[in-house]
Structure 1
Amino acid sequence: MSNKQDAAPSGGLTRRELLGSSAALLIGASAPGAAQALTFRDTPEWKPLANVAVEPVDENAGWQFFTEEEAATVEAIVERLIPADALSMSGKEAGCTVFIDRQLAGAYGDSERLYMHGPFQEGTPEQGDQSPLTPQQRYRIGLSALDDHCRNEHGAAFAELADEQRDQVLTQLEENEIALGDIDSQVFFEIVLQNTMEGFFADPLYGGNRDMVSWKMLGFPGARYDYRDYVERHNEDLGLEPVSIGGRPDWQAQG
C-alpha cells in the first residue's frame, strides 16, 4: 500500500524528503566548525543607550518653558506637595520642576496629541476638564494669577512665603477658594499635583526622580530586562538596585 503522506506535487519535495533534509541540516550544524558557519555577519555593534527613543533630559540646559519667576513658584509648590522627610528628598530636590518644565515644552504642553477643537461645553466630572486651554496656557495663567493673589493677600509672591502660608494657599487652591482669572483653581491644583507625582515616580530619563529616589524608597527595581525569576516572589525585598531606562550611571560612564 502506498503512503499518501509521502506523495508530493510534480517537481516538489515529499514529506519524507523534507524531513530527511531537515535532519541532515541539524546534524551538520552540530558538526565541528558548524557554529562558525552559522554565525551572523555584519551585525551592528551594541552601544549603551542606542535603543532609547527619548533623549535623556539635560538638567543643566536651563528652563525650556518656565521663566525664572515661574520656575521659582513651581519649585516652591512641589517642595510643599512632597516635603523632604526621613524616607526621601523633597519634590524640588528630586527634580519635579525640571520634569514638568520639559513636559510643558513638549507634546504634552501644547496638547499636540489631543483633539482641541470646539465646541467646548462644561462636562461631567467623569468627562474631565473640557477647557480649550492647553497645559502650557493653564500653567502660564495659573502661576501668574497665583503670585498676584499672594502679593495682594500676603504681601509677597508664593515662593517668598513661609511654609505654613504656602500650605494654607495650596489648601485654598485645592478647595477652589482662590480666583485665578480664567481658570478653575481646583483644576489647576489637580494638574500641578498630578504632574508633580509623575515627575517624582517617572523614570529619571525624563528629568525627575533624581537618583531614582522614589524607586529606592519603594523598593522598585526599575526597568530591568527580565523579571521572570521574580514573578512569584511577593511582598519581599528583592535586594535589586533600581535601573533606569537609560541604564545606571556606571553604564553610561563606560559608554
Structure 2
Amino acid sequence: MPEFPLTSRRGFLRSAIALVPAGTLAGCDVQHNASNPSASTSSPNGENSANPPRAGYKPRFFDAKEWAFVHAAVDRLIPVDSEGPGAIEAGVPEFIDRQMDTPYAHGALWYMHGPFQQGVPELGYQLKLVPRDLYRLGIASVNAYCTKTYTKTFDALDAATRDTVLGALEKGGVDLADVPANVFFAQLLQNTREGYFCDPIHGGNRDMGGWKMIGFPGARADFMDFVNQNGEAYPYGPVSIEGKRT
C-alpha cells in the first residue's frame, strides 16, 4: 500500500490541509516564491477566474490521454468513500486543468535562470521545468513506464496497480525519462489537495464538499466565536466567495 492514504481518508485530508496554502482555501492572495511553487496570487495559483463551467467541461491544456491520466491519478489520491466526495466528484481535474493557463503554471513568478542544479532540500525547487512541463513530461513518462511494465497506460490499470505505481512515484522508485518521479508526484499531490480545498470559484471543491467534510467555514466574514471550541463541529456550514451556501 502506498504511503499517502491513511486508514481514515478524513484523517489524511485533515493532516494534508496544513500543507495547502491559505489562499487555496478561501481564495485570498498568497505571495509566491521559488521555494513554494504551490502558491501565487488571486486564485490559489494566480488565476482570476469567472464562475467555472460544470457540466461538459472540456480541458484547455490537457489532451485526451493526459486528461484520462489526471482523472485516474486523482481518483486514487482522494477516492470517494462514506466520509465525503472523491477528487473526481470535487472537480479536481477541472481545477488542475484551469491552473495550467495561469502565470503560476508558466513559471512567470519564479526565478527561472540557470544554472539549474539540484541542491539540498532546504534550497527548495531547483529544476528548469515549470508546472506545465512537469505535467506534460511527467504524464508521458509515467504512461511509457506503465506500458513497458504492465502493457497498459496508467488510466487502463486497475485501482490496486495504480496505487502501486503512485507509491513508487512518491518514493522516487521509478526512473522516469524526463522528470524526477518524486517531483512529479509531489506536484500532482499538491495540486490535488489545492483543488479539493479551494474555493469553488476556481473549479474544484464542488458544492464545497471538501470544506463540509472537515468543518471549514469557508469565506465567512466572522467565525471567531468558534475558533477555540476544541474540535466542536462548526454548526452553520461553509460559504463560498460568491456567497453560495450549502
TM range (shorter): 0.7 to 0.9
What is the CA distance between 1:165 and its match in structure 2?
A: 0.6
Find out whether 1:107 has 2:103 as its counterpart.
Answer: yes
Q: Which amino acid aligns with 2:131?
A: P
Kindly report which structure 2 residues correspond to 1:38-57, keeping only aligned pairs within 5 A, or say none: 54-57=49-52
What is the CA distance between 1:238 and its match in structure 2?
A: 2.9
CA–CA separation in structure 2 for the residues paired with 1:79 and 1:160: 13
CA–CA separation in structure 2 for the residues paired with 1:73 and 1:241: 33
Q: Which runs of 5+ in 2 are unaligned?
A: 1-42
Kindly report which structure 2 residues correspond to 1:114-153, keeping only aligned pairs within 5 A, or say none: 114-153=110-149
Q: Deviations over 1:131-174 (max 9, x none)?
A: 11111011000001111111111111100100111011111111
Q: Which amino acid aligns with 1:68?
A: A
Find out whether 1:203 has 2:185 as its counterpart.
Answer: no
Q: Does the 8 A contact of 2:57 with 2:94 survive in 1?
A: no
Q: 1:95 aligns with which of 81, 91, 106?
A: 91
What is the CA distance between 1:91 and its match in structure 2?
A: 1.0
Q: Which amino acid aligns with 1:85?
A: D
Q: Which runs of 5+ in 1 are unaligned?
A: 1-51, 251-255
What is the CA distance between 1:210 and its match in structure 2?
A: 1.0
Scaled by the length of structure 1, the TM-score of the pair is 0.73
What is the CA distance between 1:232 and its match in structure 2?
A: 4.7
Q: CA RMSD in A?
A: 1.8
What is the CA distance between 1:189 and its match in structure 2?
A: 0.6
CA–CA separation in structure 1 for the residues paired with 2:115 and 2:165: 33
Cross-structure match for 2:76: 80
What is the CA distance between 1:108 and its match in structure 2?
A: 1.5
**Number of residue pairs aligned between Structure 1 and Structure 2:** 199
CA–CA separation in structure 2 for the residues paired with 1:233 and 1:164: 40
CA–CA separation in structure 1 for the residues paired with 2:57 and 2:196: 20
Point out which structure has higher relative CO (alpha carbons under 8 A, 6+ apart). 2
Find out whether 1:219 has 2:215 as its counterpart.
Answer: yes
CA–CA separation in structure 1 for the residues paired with 2:230 and 2:51: 32
Q: Deviations over 1:101-121 (max 9, x none)?
A: 111121111011111111222
Instruction: Write out the 4+ residue segments of structure 1 that deviate beyond 3 Å after TM superposition.
Output: 228-234
CA–CA separation in structure 2 for the residues paired with 1:235 and 1:185: 37
Alpha-carbon spacing, 1:234–1:175, altered in 2? closer, same or farther (3 Å): closer
